[in-house]
Structure 1
Amino acid sequence: MPIVKEEAVCYVVQDDRLLVFTHLQHPMHITGVQVPAGTIKPGETPTQAAQRELFEETGLEGIVSRELGTMAYDVRPMRDEIANRHFLELRVPQQDLSRRWVAGEQDPSHGGASEPWECWWLPLVQAHVLATGLGSQLWKLSQH
């Protein structure tokens, strides 16, 4: 029986561009294009986790503007796990959308070595390339 992990997934959009990252030490065909996301720690709300994950994974401080919903994602066969994902929209101060920067996770939840990646702003119309179901709730961004 797979374990269930609660996760927060961050959607940060400015001028029709989505904040994403790609790993620098792993091939794109393995890790894909991702958005900031991660495990919700015990005692943490999805909102708190999203704000923490955004900062840890990108160096940007953001505020949750709304919750978009929850969806389960079966991580198998990679891990015997179901990710119960809480999707949240966050706002950050205005950014230079042409800028790319290196960030990463110093203490990954899977316990491995630190992981560097490159953060950048993907045109929202191209967000269908997001890996592992991370784009499943993007359609809700246009609903207010």
Structure 2
Amino acid sequence: MTGSERPLTEAIALAVSRGWRQRVLAYITRAPHELLVFEHPPLYPDAGIQVPAGGVDPGETPAEAVIRETFEETGLRLHSPVHLASFHWTRGENSQVWHYLWLAAPPTTPDDWTHQVTGGETDQGMTFHCRFVPQSTHGLIPGFGYEAALPHLQRLIPAH
């Protein structure tokens, strides 16, 4: 997968003009050094470790989409997302625009929990295991772009 970073408004305009899918990825922290990740049920061992993510629905902004996706995939009702970066990704003939946003979880959020997904095309009804991990050892599935905006997050909220 190859990607190029774009400003938010330019990335949205590019996706709309080309009819490309837009996705959001949520970097959720509870403390500066932590990152919320989740794992799929054992039925999908190759899915790896991911962050909450999903498509931007028609008429929805990336900020609205990341709030909805976060709730659907983790059960957390978070607000005030901060845009970190947007990338135009190409894999073969497929192009998409991914928007990375940061959300802060309350300090009282548990270390880990399970959540049954309440929306989405293929994930609805699955149970995800959510947990906070150190940003430095996130374990995100490599090669899929999930970690692409972590340097932006680390500049915004240094881990140390």
TM range, smaller chain: 0.7 to 0.9
The separation in 2 between residues aligned to 1:122 and 1:13, in whole angstroms, is: 9
Higher strand share: 1
Counterpart residue type for residue 134 of structure 2:
P
Aligned to 1:130: 140
2: distance between equivalents of 1:37 and 1:118?
15
2:30 and 2:53 map into 1 onto residues whose CA distance is 18
Question: Kindly tell me: are residues 55 and 143 of structure 1, through their superposed partners in 2, closer, same or farther at Cα, counting changes over 3 Å?
Answer: same
Q: Contact 1:50/1:64 (CA < 8 Å) preserved in 2?
A: no
Asked if 1:45 corresponds to 2:61, the answer is yes
Equivalent-residue separation in structure 1 for 2:117 and 2:109 (angstroms): 22
Aligned residues: 135
- 1:83-132 deviations in Å (ceiling 9; x for gaps): 311000011222345x321113233224x7632210011111112x2122
- 1:22 correspondence with 2:39: yes
Q: Which aligned runs of 4 or more in structure 1 are off by greater than 4 angstroms?
A: none
Partner of 2:98: 85
The letter for the 1-side match of 2:49 is V
CA RMSD of aligned residues (A): 2.2
Do structure 1's residue 116 and structure 2's residue 127 form an aligned pair?
A: yes
| Structure 1: distance between partners of 2:83 and 2:23 | 13
What are structure 2's unaligned runs of at least 5 residues?
Answer: 1-18
- What amino acid is aligned across from residue 114 of structure 1 in structure 2? G
Out of 107, 116, 124, the residue aligned to residue 104 of structure 1 is 116
Query: Structure 1 residues 74 and 95 mapped into 2: Cα distance closer, same or farther (>3 Å)?
Result: farther
